[in-house]
Structure 1
Amino acid sequence: MQEGQSDPGLYDFAPWRGRPKIVWPQGKTVAVWVAPNLEFYELDPPANPLRKSWAKPHPDVVGYSHRDHANRVSHWRMADVMTRHGFPGSVSLSVALCDHIPEVVEDARQRGWEFFSHGIYNTRYSYGMDEAQERAIIEDSIRTVRAATGQTIRGWLAPALTHTPRTLDLIAEYGLDYTCDLYHDDQPTAVKVKSGTLTAIPYSLEVNDHYGFFVYNMSPRDYADTLIRQFERLAAEGEASGTVMCIPLHSYLIGQPHRIGPFEEVLRHIAADGRAWIARAGEIVDAWRAQTTGAGA
């Protein structure tokens, strides 16, 4: 291996076959959690020299207003369907939403949803940040979510999936104990950090509605079929050792009138199947840690 290309050592290698058996509550084979991204986008954000916030020159009225459908209409449509079928949310929260549109955050709180940080704005990126700036975002996230919801956040999904080499160490230092930013497994994994304890909970790009509709160009029924196939495989394989299925959502996409029907069919299917432990992210992390000795760094 050439100099400078060493493995960063974020986690240990463990082949899929032969792992210790993980058992979810009531003998369920797959832990299913839904991750609604409740986000706030700025119409004309400060420019980051490493990445544009909008594809069009600022202000991008079209991009902004498309996403604003989430907080005006489609959050409520998505959330009602989730509640109807017994799925709590584990919210990937743009923390600025607590100040800009507190009604959405309060609705999620009243539904018993869990909150973790997705940064302050989804139009401000971690690229190029110094340590003081990154610490300020973490501290702001903890303080603001606690004031708005009474919850102390445990988890982190980097804003627009942007990071620095310090991110995982810093969130663990501040007492956060799970990250959604690693996509390497179908079970929770211990992450190696300088201090604290950090678990990678399986999130997803493959069945994220953003990828489904923007990258893979799926129809609503194609996306629903993908979710069901994801669930069926993970539920079957989970008989050997419990798996995790995450359904990451953006309500301005999944909550559109032409998409919500097939998605509701997915939730109905999973809820009726009998193999799913429908849970919040923190509950899944706690259940995994209780059964493993490798939960520490």
Structure 2
Amino acid sequence: MKRDPGFYDYLPYQGRPQIRWPGGARVAFWVAPNVEFYELNPPRNPARAAWARPAPDVQNYSYRDYGNRVGFWRMLETMKRCNVRGSVSLNVAMCEHHPEVIQACADNGWEFYSHGTYNTRYLMGMDEAQERAVIQDSIDTIRKHTGQKLDGWLAPALTYTDRTMDLVAEMGLTYVCDLFHDDQPVPVKTRSGRLTSIPYSLEMNDTIVYNVNQVSPRRYGDIIKRQFDQLYREGEHSGTVMCIPLHPYLIGQPYRLAAFEEALQYITGHDKVWLATGREIAQYYNEHYYDAFAQAAHPVGEAP
């Protein structure tokens, strides 16, 4: 019987190899806007319904479409004022549906990594050839529309198969955001290639904060600051990573922006903070710390 996912070995937080980020930074800070497209009536997946209401679910479709029409542009201006670049978790079909959004991200030096084709098409149930085709389409589409090499992966709607990690590594990607198990990068065990898990926090994710925990914008801003404070203190000993995952249809609502901008200003007002992208964090870690972490970790023990 399988008792753990088998994607990574165990390495306690205390006593790890020390990480030193560029410039002596304590925290590698990155912001991950999920730039997504939800189809009104997508192909049916037997494992999961795309919408809570019967098709056509115009209410929920239009609520998310608010992000691409309005919310994204507010979020973009807020991040620009704070000199924070985005690492875009991209449904690559956006390149065809809303090229203006893609161009705005590219013009501001943002990274693009893949969040699948649509957020209404799931990986579970796919065979290997189908899953390879999805990954290859992401590689080709991002290169065609942005000129960037695809380095990162976050599965569409957080859906996977047993082979997802192996395939993205084999096909040349260098990091994933699908493992929510640490505050530092961690080597991922794959059949081939060198793949790293970069911290992507569900606790900081505006979907969890607003739609699940139902906190106020002011409270969200305070949560972000407290998260940063703790990671900044710990980062004096060994560099940490802080991620804020965003969704434009949520963070881009008018009454939520002021608290978010105040939190960004708080973080960027500190010294020894590396304002990075996911790709930059992964590249630096893979070059300087991957081997040391891999060698220090050990498999999860089996209970009797």
Shift of 1:296: 6.8
Give the one of 78, 87, 108 matched to 2:75.
78
The match for 1:111 is 108
Q: What is the DSSP-based 3-state SS (H/G/I as helix, E as strand, rest coil) of the residue aligned with 1:273?
A: coil
Task: Supply the AA of the counterpart residue of 2:148.
Answer: Q
- 1:252-287 Cα shifts (integer Å, max 9, x gaps): 100110001100001110111213211111111122
Name the residue aligned to 1:200.
Answer: 197
Matches within 5 A, 1:230-241: 230-241=227-238
**Partner of residue 121, structure 2:** 124
Choose from 24, 27, 30 the match for 1:27: 24
**1:101 aligns with one of 73, 78, 98:** 98
For structure 1, the residue ranges without an aligned partner over 5 or more in a row are: none
Partner of 2:299: none
Determine the C-alpha separation between the residues in 1 that align with 2:244 and 2:14: 25
| TM-score normalised by the chain length of structure 2 | 0.95
Choose which of 130, 136, 143 in structure 2 pairs with 1:133.
130
Aligned to 1:176: 173
Residue of structure 2 equivalent to 1:17: 14
SS in 2 for 1:109: helix
> What is the Cα deviation at residue 132 of structure 1?
1.1
Distance 1:290 1:152 in 2: 18
- Aligned 8 A contact 1:43 1:60 in 2: yes
> Identity of aligned pairs, percent?
57
Write the distance in 2 (CA, Å) between the matches of 1:290 and 1:147.
Answer: 27
In 2: Cα distance, 1:104 partner to 1:290 partner: 32
Residue in 2 that maps onto 1:247: 244
1:271 aligns with 2:273: no
Structure 1 residues 64-93: Cα deviation after superposition (integer angstroms, max 9, x where no partner): 001111111110100111111111000000
Q: CA RMSD in A?
A: 1.2
> What amino acid is the match of 1:275?
K
How many pairs does the alignment contain?
A: 294
CA contact (8 A) 1:204 1:246 kept: yes
- The AA in structure 1 aligned to 2:279 is G
Gaps spanning 5+ residues in structure 2: where?
A: 296-304
Contact kept in structure 2, 1:289 and 1:295, CA below 8 Å:
no
User: C-alpha distance in 1, partners of 2:124/2:95?
Assistant: 24
CA contact (8 A) 1:190 1:294 kept: no
Question: If the length of structure 1 is used for normalisation, what is the TM-score?
Answer: 0.97
Contact 2:186 2:196 in 1 (8 A): yes
Q: What corresponds to 2:302 in structure 1?
A: none
The one-letter code of the counterpart of 1:280 is T
Residues 295 and 115 (structure 1 numbering): CA distance in 2 closer, same or farther, change over 3 Å? farther
Q: Please give the secondary structure, in 2, of the residue aligned with 1:88.
A: coil
Residue in structure 2 matched with residue 220 of structure 1 by the alignment: 217
Write the mapping of 1:37-52 to structure 2, written as runs, cut at 5 A: 37-52=34-49
CA distance in 1, matches of 2:173, 2:181: 20
- The worse-fitting range, judged by mean Cα deviation, of 195-204 and 268-277 is 268-277
Q: Distance in 1 between matches of 2:287 and 2:2?
A: 35
Deviations along 1:155-197, one digit per CA (max 9) or x if unpaired, are 0000000000010000011000100000111000000100111
- Structure 1's 204 and 65: CA in aligned 2 closer, same or farther, altered over 3 A? same
